[in-house]
Amino acid sequence: MAKEIERKFLVKGDSWRELGVGSVYRQGYIATQNAVTVRVRIANNQGYLTVKGPSVNYSRSEFEYEIPVADAQEMLDTLCDRPLIEKVRYKIEWGGLIWEIDEFNGANQGLILAEVELSDEQQQFELPEWIGEEVSSDRKYFNSNLAKFPFSQW
């Protein structure tokens, strides 16, 4: 079974911007029920279908599959809840780990989150200066919830 162990933080300041180049992501949710999500994403002209299980602490099962971009686009257009998640993702190496910074657009404009994937829940890591409050356990920051309750409506 594939497992994702991830910590999520708010981002402060702009010093991170000079550290990476962004890629446009567009994603939507076909289903979100009983803490299980089915997501469709287009990133860097590639389509993905992802199934994620319920979160337990910082971990959850995750199964991701490449799909044709035309299929992903059709699913985004016809099967996914609105609003779609639109963001630019920056990947930045820091302290031997890859941090993913998501700068949201559309209905979530103004929200900037950073995520770091770990090898185990107890892994120690260095926080960059541009990392703010941890929101790993705050479900309102899950992308699947941002699709239902966008940042612009908080």
Instruction: Give the up-direction half-sphere exposure of residue 93: CA atoms within 13 A in the CB hemisphere.
Output: 1
Alpha helix (H) residue ranges in the chain: 69-78, 143-146
Exactly one of 29, 58, 65, 90 is catalytic; which is it?
29
Catalytic residue flag (residue 90): no
DSSP tally for the chain: helices H, then strands E: 2, 9
What is the rounded CA–CA span in Å between residue 146 and residue 154?
10
The residues annotated with a catalytic role in the active site are 29
